[in-house]
Structures are given as C-alpha cells and as structure tokens.
Chains A and B, each alone.
Chain A
C-alpha cells in the first residue's frame, strides 16, 4: 500500500510536466543517478581540458541499452543511425564519424579499416564509467580524435565476497534483453564476469510518406538483430601495484533494412560483426611517480552480404597495441608524463589486394605546472606512421579556479592534432591511395563554469564552452582515374560551436528533484573553393541540439522525463535538402525494494511518448511510441 502511495505521489508530481510537454512538443527524461553528466574539476594532468563523466552510479540503470542509446540521451553528441540496432556513428562537436574515437580502458577500439565504430553494438553494461574527452582533451590518450574520445572504463570493487546482479527486459517490437554481472574476490583479487544479450524484430509501424498514390502505414521489414557479448576480467592488487587481464568477446547478426524508397522486396542485406578484445595492464605506483604498461590485441570481423547483388564481403583486422606511460611529480608542483604508444594493424579483406599491415608509433610528452588556483599544461606529440615522420602535434592549456575547487573556473587550450588515414584510405582496391596525407586540425577552446551550493539541500552548476576547429587536408573520396573513387586531401572544414549545460539538484530527506539541461550549437561548414559548398553546413551535422532531464524521486520510487531536440540536418552539400528537426520525449518510472542483501528493481520505460515521426538518416524511419518493462536484481553490497 505504501509502495502504491509512493508511486501515485510521484506520478502526480510529474503529470503536469508531462501534460505541458505534450502541449509544447517538449519533454525530458532520465534517471538522475544514471545519466547525470559530471564535468569533473580535476587537478590532474588534464585539468585544462574539458571532460564529461558518466559514472558508475549513473550507468547502473541502463544496462540493457547500447552505448548509442546512452549517448543519445545524455551527451551533446549527434548519433546518426539507420534505426534501432543498426549502424550508429557519432558526430561530436561538428566533426565527422572518424573524428570521434571510442576507447576501452584507454585502448582505442575503432576499426583500423574504417576509422569509426558502430556504437549500437557496444553494450553499456560493459562499462562501469564512461568518460568523454572533449576536443583536444583526447590527445592525452590518442591522436586524430578532433571531436573527442569516449572512454569506457571498467574497474573492480575491492571487497570480500560475492556480488551479482542481473537485468532483464522485454519491450515492443520483439525486444528481449538481458545482462548479468558477477563479481567475486577479496581485497587482493577480483574476478568480474559480464554477459549481455539483446534481440529485436524491429517490425515497428511507420508512415511511408513516399508511397504512391498516398502515404500508407507499413511495417519495417528485414530489420531484426541479435547480439551476444561476454566480458571477463581478473584484477590483482599488490602493495603498490594493480594488474588486470580483460577479455571481451561479442557477436552481432543483423539484417539491414532497406530505405523506404525501395519498392522491391528487401535485397537480403545482412551483416555479421564479431570482435575479440584482450587487454593486459599493469600499473606500479611509487611515492612520487607511477608506471602504466598496457598490451592489447583486438580482432574485428565484419561480413556484409547482399544476396540480390551476390556480394559477400569479408573483412578481418587484428591490431596489436602496446602502451607505456611514466608519470612523476616534483615538489615544485611540476608534473611530467611521458607516454609511448605502438599500434600494429594487419588487415585481410576481399576488398584489399592481399594482406596489408602498418605500424604506428607515437610519443607524447606532457608537463603541467601547478599554480596557486590552477595550472598550465603543455603537451607535445610525435607520430611515426610506417617510415613517415609527421609534423609534431601540440596542445597548451591553462585552468584557473576562482573560488577554490568547488566554485567558478575557467579553462582554455590551443592545439594542433593529426589524424592518420584509415587502412581503407590507403589500400582499398580499387581506389586506395597510398600517398594520401594525414588530416590535421588547429583548435582552440575556452570553458567557464560554476558549481554553487546554495544551501545544504540545493546545488546548481553550469558550464559553457566555446570552441573552434580548423580541419585541413580532410580526406574525401572522389571519382578519379578510370572511374575509381579515390581518397584525396581536398576538403577543409571550419567548426565553430558552443556547448552549455545547467544542472540543479535539490534534495530533502525523502524527496529529490534533479534537472539537467544542455544545448549545443555547431556551425560546421565546408571551406572549399566550390561555390555550391563553401560556407554550407556539413551533411548530417545539426546546427542546434539540446535537451533536458527531469527526475523526481520519493524514497526508492522515481519518475523521470527526458526530452531531446535535434535541429535540421542537411542531406545535400549545397544544403538545398534537409531533414526536419525533431523533438523526442522519453519517460521512465520505477521503484526499488531492499531485502537484506538483495535489491529488486522494476521499471517501465516509454520511448517517444509523443509518437513523433522522425528520421536520423533520410528515408530510414525511426520507431514511434514504444514500451519496455524491465526488472533487476542485485545481491551483495
């Protein structure tokens, strides 16, 4: 009875907001503890750069979703997807998909062939924390991520005993999903095992606006997918050291739906992806210094088939990655870090002329001098790709905290960053261009923020960032000799943008309110000499994007509303055609019950409450309103 009363109380608290949201085509969602974006103020070596952190608590309720779902809801990234479970790539800060990288515990897992990664097949359950290195903040881990880097972190809890939990959910369009995490060990040894499964028929209804003689309702065909993944990690902790061995294997099978312009039966396009990723790492800590060593082997397989066109394209790659870093701290407040990164790629593809390989070596030196309420940092990096020595990259930044580390702050940095071509750019047959040069980008950024505790129950914080990128020698595939498409360094792109976010947290003993609003503008334009393209917004990069979350929690019961607005996205380079902007509202209501060491949770999620018709890629419809019910169980602390 008490539970029912709590639920009714929460519903009544948020129902006026939902009604208003419907009336204005606006709304919000999210779980406070699952989606809050934390811009951490750190005095670490990256203190002058912007990082956004989605921590373990925030992720705990999203274990049945993919990384693409999480990112769409919570971070100012634009996810471009062909539909649920289908290829999802990311555009961050007005840059292209190849300019955002994804790392697992610091090891970049983007495909060496394409340079990008499909976020839809990365389970969010396989990360305990997600950190987003914005812009040149990524240079502390890798090169070429002009937009930024998404780092998935896993970390053990050093406690005795067994802890386990599972999440299970089912929803519209044949969706079934489950994840399990089991941890065991003591304060010296931990073993963590995760399993993930997800499938869906994806046969949602949509309006075919291009059908003749009039628009009709149809069901999506050939859009089903299934995905399996397993991760096992073991951690050892010595007196001053931590070692770990992690293995992540996953497979996904997907049928690829046609666009709605296709009137024939589906051509039988499908794709199978498989990956095995292994990382061994060892960290040793001394009184004023530390050493980190990492070795990784990453295997990726992608098999695309098209029965109608009789295409069977098998692509496999293996990357061997070795990283080493030494960091020390001097009494004068000077921190110095030296990092070495070696990556060796081997690719076997039906689209390459034989086995291709390459070696990339990069060396990075970082020095940070702490000054009274902030610091200045200088990073210098050098890349050796094959036998080519590239022009060195750099980044210089400063940060200043006006009222100590919980008050106002300002940060700024200036960088030059390089991206080496992908293996496809070099070796695709026909068309690959072994002489293609690296892209490079000059960028500048300034951030300011405030974190203000009004009273013991009420905290507000906000942050604004202005940034500019000048990308040069950008690689674009163009028709070349003999009608081959061939990559050339011809494009230049200029990005100017700003990100703002505002958060408010109000809590009393039983009742908590949380509000988060973010808004991003990205003017991302071609800088070529072509009259048609010059000054025009890049394809599929929205000029404006924003959203917000509201969550109300009463004891263990909560309700949340999330709304995300995405502005118009151009689909032709002269910006004459575009997709309309759209506003999506999602909602969730749930409760948790505690019995001794066990915790049960139930929740109902409604996606796209307003049943908005929208497309993220032209002529690929997205689902209207749909539902998901899930339960979870946790045992242990």
Chain B
C-alpha cells in the first residue's frame, strides 16, 4: 500500500510541475530612432500600479516607439511620470509618485542618474545649466537641484504647494494649483520669493505670449464651487491685466499651451479650444470636438505649430497620441501607453 502512496505522490508532483512559469518574450528594442526629431510622451500609468512608461514619436519617420525607458534600462520608469525637461543631451523625467527624477540620455534613453527622495515632485524648470526648480504637490517648498551633479542644492519655502512653473526675464512664476489661487514670483538669481499674484482658483498651467504677457489657466474646482478663469498677467508689474471667466462652474479646463510664434493659445475643456492672444473673449466653438475621445494633454510643436493631443480613453486601456492637421482633422493616430500625458518636444 505504501508503494501506491508514493506512486500517487510522484504523479501529483509531476502534474503540478507541468504548470508553466515562463514569461512572454520582451518587446524588441529599436536602435537609433532617438537620433531623429520627434516628441516624447509620458504615459502616467495608473496611480500606485507602476505601469507608467515613455513613448517616442519620430516626426521624421512618423513611427511610434513605446516603453523606451524600460527597454533601455530593464526596469520600469516608476509610478506616474508626470513631466519632462530637456537640457543639452539629457532628459530629466519627473516621476511624481516615485518621488524622483530620472536623468537619461536623449539619444539612448539610458539612465545617467537618479535624484531620489523628493516629496511628490510635479514639474521641472531649468533656470540655467547648474540650477533647476522642481515643484511639489504636497510640499510647500520648491526643490532647487543642480542638473550638473544631480544633487539637491537648497529649498525655497513658498508656503504653498506648487505645480506649473515658467521662467521669464529672470523671474520664475510658480502656480499654486492644488486648492490654491495664487502665483508666486521668485527671483531666480537669489532664489527668494519677491511677490505673489492672486488669480483664479487652481491655476493649473501657464504660457508666455508674443507680447511677454503671462497667461494662466485656472481650472476652478472639481467640486464645482468656483468658475474657471483664463487670466492674463502683466509681467512688468506682476498684476492681473485681463480675466476671461468660463460659463459654468462645472467646467474644468486644463493644459494651456501656446504655439511657437506666441500668438495662439490652446487648452482642453472636454474638446480642444483655440484662442488668439488678441481675442477679447473666450472662443464660442471648440477647435476640435471631443466626439467621444477623452483628451488628456496637448502639445504644440514650436517650429511647425502642429497640434498633438493624447486620448486617455478610460484610463485603463492604452491611450493614443493624435496628430492633427492645421484644420483640426486627424493626420495620424498611434497607440502609446496607459494615460498618455505630458508631451515633450525633442528638437
């Protein structure tokens, strides 16, 4: 009887080991494509899921290359890549929920360095070759890093959390987005706060137009308590010059961008809207209707003025990068990663 027991035992073990533990083969890595002109798309991935990625769209070949960071480095980019800045030949990718900046080569995507231990970093702004500001969703301090040696130099206490940043005439304008309604003005030579400007509720994104005016898109509030506003700031006096109020508190515009000549701004409010900087009112009709698409971020190529937008679909599936013709018709559409977000142009 014991022999039968052993036979059954051996049979059972063989049966269990027959279960496969093999992985699927990894996607092949494509060489040399990063030497072409194009744009990076940061696919945020789902919060806490670590499925963010980086895609590159070559405007020369009109091809998309996905998962380029993980293919180059055999590890994931991290949790929620949110923003990217390029200085020289290096890309600084701000990975929000991983609390780090990944520094990579623009030509190979190979890691050069990691700046870890940052509190919920959001965006990066290069002041010069050895100074950059990093905003933070949860910290009231701007992190000042040295892009040359990848160290934290100091912190600037702005007493508010921060989101988007823009550099103009030696001043950094920093928006206080999450629950805020102000811009903080920092003198970049001394790294000190010199002024603040009250704008609309939740200033989310900013651009500088051809006249040196600062355009600030204030999203309102997701609870519908405040009207969204588009605010124009005089950068000489740092005061509000014009305000355009949106028609409903239930609107939530975001992602203000400007073309290379600085005469037209674009933003998302379900659809994509376009407005001349000389206009006296908000546009009545969208430039590109959403038509079932979930526009998440847009980008305008500085040289050609070509508009790009990402469609996040349902935030679960892989999204699409849409390339538009000048008349707003779709020229091309390519699949990227989950929640395709920030678009960074590589010149």
What are the residues of chain A within 8 A of B17 when measuring CB–CB?
24-26
Q: Is A482's CB under 8 angstroms from B250's CB? A: yes
A-B contacts, 25 of them at CB < 8 A, read A24-B17, A25-B17, A212-B102, A259-B48, A259-B50, A263-B98, A263-B99, A264-B100, A264-B120, A308-B119, A308-B120, A309-B138, A430-B223, A482-B250, A506-B5, A515-B8, A515-B9, A517-B15, A533-B316, A565-B16, A572-B51, A573-B316, A578-B24, A581-B21, A618-B50
Q: Is B8's CB under 8 angstroms from A567's CB? A: no
The answer to whether A548 has its CB under 8 Å from any CB of chain B is yes
Q: Is A482's CB under 8 angstroms from B49's CB? A: no
6 closest residue pairs by CB, A with B:
A264-B99, A263-B116, A212-B114, A261-B79, A263-B100, A532-B317
Cβ 8 A contact of B12, one of A548, A572, A578: A548
Question: When A515-B9, A572-B51, A583-B21 are in contact, do A310 and B315 touch as well, CB less than 8 Å?
Answer: no
What are the residues of chain B within 8 A of A26 when measuring CB–CB?
13, 16-17
The answer to whether A213 has its CB under 8 Å from any CB of chain B is yes
Interface of chain A, helix or strand or loop or mixed? loop
What are the residues of chain A within 8 A of B222 when measuring CB–CB?
430, 482-484
Within 8 A of A (CB), among B1-51: 1, 5, 8-9, 12-13, 15-17, 19-21, 23-24, 48-51
A87 to B: closest C-beta gap in Å:
12
The answer to whether A265 has its CB under 8 Å from any CB of chain B is yes
B141 to A: closest C-beta gap in Å:
13
What are the residues of chain A within 8 A of B97 when measuring CB–CB?
261-262
Cβ 8 A contact of A479, one of B15, B223, B315, B338: B315
The answer to whether B299 has its CB under 8 Å from any CB of chain A is no
Question: When A264-B118, A265-B117 are in contact, do A567 and B19 touch as well, CB less than 8 Å?
Answer: yes
B288 to A: closest C-beta gap in Å:
18
Q: Is A580's CB under 8 angstroms from B318's CB? A: no
Residue ranges of B at the interface with A (Cβ–Cβ < 8 Å): 1, 5, 8-9, 12-13, 15-17, 19-21, 23-24, 48-51, 73, 75-76, 78-79, 95, 97-100, 102, 111, 113-114, 116-120, 137-138, 222-224, 250-252, 294, 312-318, 338
The answer to whether A210 has its CB under 8 Å from any CB of chain B is yes
- Chain A 567-610, CB-CB to B under 8 Å as 1, else 0, gives 11001111011101111000000000000000000000000000
Which bucket holds chain A's interface residue count? 35 or more
**Docked pose: A530 CA to B315 CA in angstroms:** 13
Cβ 8 A contact of B50, one of A309, A578, A619: A619
- Chain A 244-276, CB-CB to B under 8 Å as 1, else 0, gives 000000000000000101111101000000000
Within 8 A of B (CB), among A318-333: none
The answer to whether A380 has its CB under 8 Å from any CB of chain B is no
Q: Is A212's CB under 8 angstroms from B252's CB? A: no
A502 to B: closest C-beta gap in Å:
8
What are the residues of chain A within 8 A of B12 when measuring CB–CB?
502, 515, 517, 548
The answer to whether A234 has its CB under 8 Å from any CB of chain B is no
**Docked pose: A563 CA to B73 CA in angstroms:** 34
Closest-by-CB residue of A relative to B78 is: A261
Q: Is B1's CB under 8 angstroms from A457's CB? A: yes
Question: When A481-B250, A563-B16, A618-B49 are in contact, do A210 and B23 touch as well, CB less than 8 Å?
Answer: no
